[in-house]
Amino acid sequence: MKQGSRQLYVQTSSLVVGFMVWVLISSLMTFIKEDIDLSATQISWATAVPVILGSLLRIPIGFWANRYGARILFTISFIIMLIPIAIISYANSFFMLILGGFMLGIGGAVFSIGVTSLPKYYPKEKHGFINGIYGAGNIGTAITSFSAPVLANTYGWRTTILIFLIIVLIFAVINFLFGDRNEHKVNNSFIVSFKQVYRNPKLWFLSLCYFITFGSFVAFTIYLPSFLVNHFDLSKVDAGLRTAGFIALATIFRPVGGWLGDKINPFLILMAVFFSLTFAGFLLSFTPSLPIYSFGCLLVAFFAGIGNGAIFKLVPLYFSKQAGIVNGIVAAMGGLGGFFPPIILTILFSWTGHYAIGFMSLSEFSLATLVLVVWLYYQDKLDVSSKIVNHAGEGIMLTDSSGIIQKVNPAFTRITGFSQEEVIGKTPSVLQSGEHDKQFYEQMWSQLMSEDYWEGAIWNKRKNNEIYKEWLTITAIKDDSGETKHYVGLFKEDHEKQKRL
């Protein structure tokens, strides 16, 4: 088996286990609160706290994964994870739940390891799909949501937690034995790497997108069990099954989102994602009946999964050299996106008696992000056009309808010797060599005005007064009403018949 395939299996299954542990408290909360006296607010904090460390720790873990490799990071993480699992199994107070839950966040933080490590083994055109497959490891939350209540019904919630202790220990050994000892490592300074990326607006754009898509996934995962029991009077096992279905759907479509990101523009995918999340949040805000509520949740699962996969196609695309720390930052923001909603929903419910404002906030945030995605989609196209112009071998000059120079490209400066600052606001007459009479220019403009196009040889003068021959094409650029707004001149030197002066 190739090393890439082996690591994909090992790291994805390790992520499954990490996510299984990450949601232990929320999956078993309906059982835990029967033994430990907890208020509604304390329940919200106990279920949300694992998300804190699981989010913030993703930043250094993403960086360390690049520096030390996935084998070391997964092994150490699973060994440390044994401590909070043991604490929670003996918890008899809110404080012990918070302490164990905080450290339990390591289970969610290991996500940054694989998204940094696995792309090293595959070509760029497969990064979206590979990260999507790895990200599907969040099926671990569905496994726990489904199995933990069933096991707790039979063996009790404390024994159920100890079962997970054994699973984590086994995977610590698996990673130590089968992890890649020769993984390519990048020995960069954390501060230097952070300084290279933190001013890049694309980093924070991707963080915002993941804050909503993965945040909604995490928030629904940890909140649905208690919400379905308390609001719709479902049984604990039934609520666990429905939550598992939500997680499974989001997980299945995560690699689909990554695969789509490899095939088509990820921005188009994100437009569909945030449009649908806007609608879903709007639907859920009316506190509908169980069938309609289920439809809204499934809509969130479907498009959150698609979005999660597409976003991590963009990370290595824009940050190939700083993938470790960027993966960590983006993943951290996604995790934090799951921390706030459960607490906010609980607070708003205690104030208003319903959840409408909380769910509507999902809709409004998604709508605002949709607008941003559309703007960046067109901005990205403009950036590509700008790069084409700047890297063109021909000189390019843009004027307004009156012939005043607005912009020139680097090739213009290379050929003529004039910088952009020296010609902006002036007319192309700065290049006139004196080799052509007035009638020549009148005929040029006459043809340009009547046909919107002129092409021919012309003698011009460089900044150093050297006269050279070029082949020039001028085209009129019109708006939708047919009015000329700009002229574009495209030229290259004609070296065959340069005039000797």
361-384 pLDDT, tens per residue?
A: 888 889 999 998 998 888 777 666
| Residue 216 and residue 95 share a domain | yes
Residue 387 pLDDT > 70, yes or no? no
* Residues 11/134, Cβ–Cβ less than 8 Å: yes
Residue 129 pLDDT > 60, yes or no? yes
Could you identify the residue written with the tokens 């604490």?
Answer: 87
Residue 245 pLDDT > 90, yes or no? no
Q: Which pLDDT tens digit goes with each residue over 166-203?
A: 999 999 999 999 998 888 887 777 777 777 787 888 88
Task: Give the whole-angstrom CA distance, residue 171 versus residue 177.
Answer: 10
| Residue 340 and residue 411 share a domain | no
What percent of the chain is predicted at pLDDT more than 90? 20
Which residues face 397 on adjacent strands?
408, 489
| Residue 385 and residue 444 share a domain | no
| Residue 294 and residue 171 share a domain | yes
Residue 406: CATH number of its domain: 3.30.450.20
**Which of 197, 206, 201, 218 lies closest to 63, judged by CA?**
197
What does the pLDDT read at residue 244?
79
Averaged pLDDT, 272-297: 86
| Residue 77 and residue 11 share a domain | yes
Angle at CA of residue 399, ends 396 and 403, nearest 5°: 130
What does the pLDDT read at residue 14?
95
**Which of 204, 240, 173 lies closest to 24, judged by CA?**
240
What does the pLDDT read at residue 323?
67
- Look at residue 498 and tell me if it is in a domain: no
What does the pLDDT read at residue 72?
94
- Its domain, for residue 471, covers 392-493
Strands 405-408 and 453-461, sheet pairing? unpaired
Max mean pLDDT among 158-172, 189-203, 204-218 falls in: 158-172
What does the pLDDT read at residue 327?
74
| Residue 385 and residue 399 share a domain | no
Averaged pLDDT, 418-431: 89
Residue 193: CATH number of its domain: 1.20.1250.20
Domain boundary among 336, 365, 389: 389
Residue 496 pLDDT > 60, yes or no? no
What does the pLDDT read at residue 40?
78
Domain boundary among 363, 389, 415: 389
Residue 9 pLDDT > 90, yes or no? yes
What does the pLDDT read at residue 388?
62
Mean pLDDT of the chain: 84
What does the pLDDT read at residue 146?
80
Task: Give the whole-angstrom CA distance, residue 282 versus residue 293.
Answer: 11
Q: What 8-state DSSP symbol labels residue 124?
A: G
Domain boundary among 344, 360, 389: 389
Residue 83 pLDDT > 90, yes or no? yes
What does the pLDDT read at residue 47?
81
**Which of 128, 383, 371 lies closest to 271, judged by CA?**
371
- In the chain, the number of structural domains is 2
485: enclosing H helix or E strand: strand 484-493
| Residue 397 and residue 384 share a domain | no
CA distances from 16 to 20, 21, 39, 198 (A): 6, 9, 31, 30
What does the pLDDT read at residue 332?
80
With cut-offs at 50, 70 and 90, classify the pLDDT of residue 119: confident
Write b or e for each residue in 347-378: b if 16 or more Cβ atoms lie within 10 A of its Cβ, otherwise e.
Answer: ebbeeeeebeebbebbbebbbebbebbeebee
| Residue 77 and residue 136 share a domain | yes
What does the pLDDT read at residue 51?
78
CA distances from 59 to 198, 307, 336 (A): 12, 20, 12
- Kindly report the three-state secondary structure assignment for every residue of 413-477: HHHHCCCHHHHCCCCHHHHECCCCCHHHHHHHHHHHHHHCEEEEEEEEECCCCCEEEEEEEEEEE
Could you identify the residue written with the tokens 């690049």?
Answer: 66
| Residue 403 and residue 382 share a domain | no
0.75 cut: is pTM over it? no
108-117, 124-133, 412-421, 438-447: least confident range? 124-133
Residue 313 pLDDT > 60, yes or no? yes
Largest CA distance in the chain: 100
Which carries the bigger pLDDT value, residue 190 or residue 405?
A: 405
With cut-offs at 50, 70 and 90, classify the pLDDT of residue 74: very high
Kindly calculate the radius of gyration of the chain based on its CA atoms and give it in whole angstroms: 30
Strands 467-478 and 453-461, sheet pairing? antiparallel
| Residue 398 and residue 384 share a domain | no
Q: Which pLDDT tens digit goes with each residue over 30-69?
A: 899 888 888 877 887 888 788 777 888 888 888 888 889 9
116-120, 206-210, 249-253, 316-320: least confident range? 316-320
Using CB atoms within 10 A of its CB, is residue 289 exposed (0-12), middle (13-18) or buried (19+)? exposed
Task: Give the whole-angstrom CA distance, residue 350 versus residue 269.
Answer: 37
